[in-house]
Structure 1
């Protein structure tokens, strides 16, 4: 038996340098902002751009802004004797009109309850650890629409007098249009996406025509068609409410785009997932509900949220067909002679920009948090 031999290194080995630490803000900046010549140049350029644009914005919105006043005289330089920024006094004076439009003052508690009911439904649906999320879905897709309609439009059977949609306006209309579009576009988009991948030729052809025709025309065209042509398809004597028409157009338009987003997720699912589900004896509806759709929707979360954000911003186009959304209320308010001042026009639009930015940023932030959570669960 051959004896084992061991060898011991006698020469000294040069010590390796300590691993570079990335802890702390300074180390993070070196690693991410100044890691090379190009990165450093881009960082310096962006810092200069922010330093050039942010101070004037802050001066206009806050430091030089006018917060109190009852007319445009408070926001004119010839009256104040100094440079004037945003006229927030105008926004504060008209904030109720921006929020409710011409909704009756003594009935505005009903939109307030609508906002509360909708907020509860949104939190219940978006909170991933919320209890009884199945009931939350029923609440959001069934209870919220019914209660919202009864509150806003009225329901004489329970003592709520009718309020015509012609007096609705402002943020109320923006929320209603976007909420209806979002709630309808997701399930209808799923059905259209499944129909486009169907093995039934007639179903597939109809879904393809609906999707491609809708995506091939601008939203303005869809709104005009819904506003002017939809009543032509109804029986004589029947009519459609002037707010319901753009609601149908927006939901129809968003559903087509949502269908293509979801179809991309369905195509990304490996074929083995379908074969595995069929080998378990699952029917087509159960296979889609339990196996395929959850994976597909998780893949296309960024696309879904991007469609929602685009839909939320596109609600401003309903003003073209005579609906008083937030932008329309601002445009009508700035024409008031009592608030004649140069900064009034920009102040109203600045308020709208802040409102839309906060809402869209909130949707984007939530989608990113869900993506991070799902990515972390996959690593376990």
Structure 2
């Protein structure tokens, strides 16, 4: 669990820091807001789209080789971004970063889920707080390094640090024992035929369109209002702080009310945050938005593997979790660029905030009516 915490903190902390790099990158490469959105959006698209593959590989080979590959690939992606002279190279760099994070995320989280039985929800919640911790520290550290070294050297040094840490985590991570002959296995084909999973998948697509927009545009939105770059980057750190606390809090709540009820609460919290974002006009309202969004986002990410384990069992948890994450991949690819186009067309952030809220409403509606148990049972 400790190695997963560290690995996820580094992988996501050095990826979700894009808000601290985007302004100097745009100035250096001459990027529009829409182009900057594409640079970041290929990262969540890639790591989500490949999650079904890396989850299946983790079920077969375990988390250690996947985590080692993830460290090497993540470093290569950040290094490629550091050399970018054109938007295409920057996009390719963050695409490679997404491959690295995909190798680290689902395999390590599924390993924690398979290791614990009685306290699985709490264990996963604590392990994935590493994502929140990384999101807290990553943007602030990155902003300070960019100010001292420039964005290119910062990306290169972060890539080297990520490789060293993830390789060390791969060597030290304990691996959960798996049953040699599983009684039941959920494959991608079986999941596609399951009505409840199709509902989860459709709502996941809608949420994927909106979940990554704040990571790209909340800091530039604050800067447009006259806030300094460091204070603007702190909003991303607030999201990380709130998500860190929420992962533990919602894990405790799930222990009392059940993982499905707690998961629904996280989805409603995300929806409420976008309702706050729509009328935001000041830094302090954006700060409240960051707190509420971070809480919902962190709790949702923490409880999703446990919720899927509740419905589909643990023998195929890597596969089920990975396939589920692909639902948000297309949305993650197009969400930030579309928001950038709306910003460019309207000259402000009100229109994208309204559209984001409307899409979040659709995604929330698909999850609040989930049953407490999987009625069709395991295959």
* TM-score, normalization by structure 1: 0.30
Larger radius of gyration: 1
Higher relative contact order (CA 8 A, sep 6+): 2
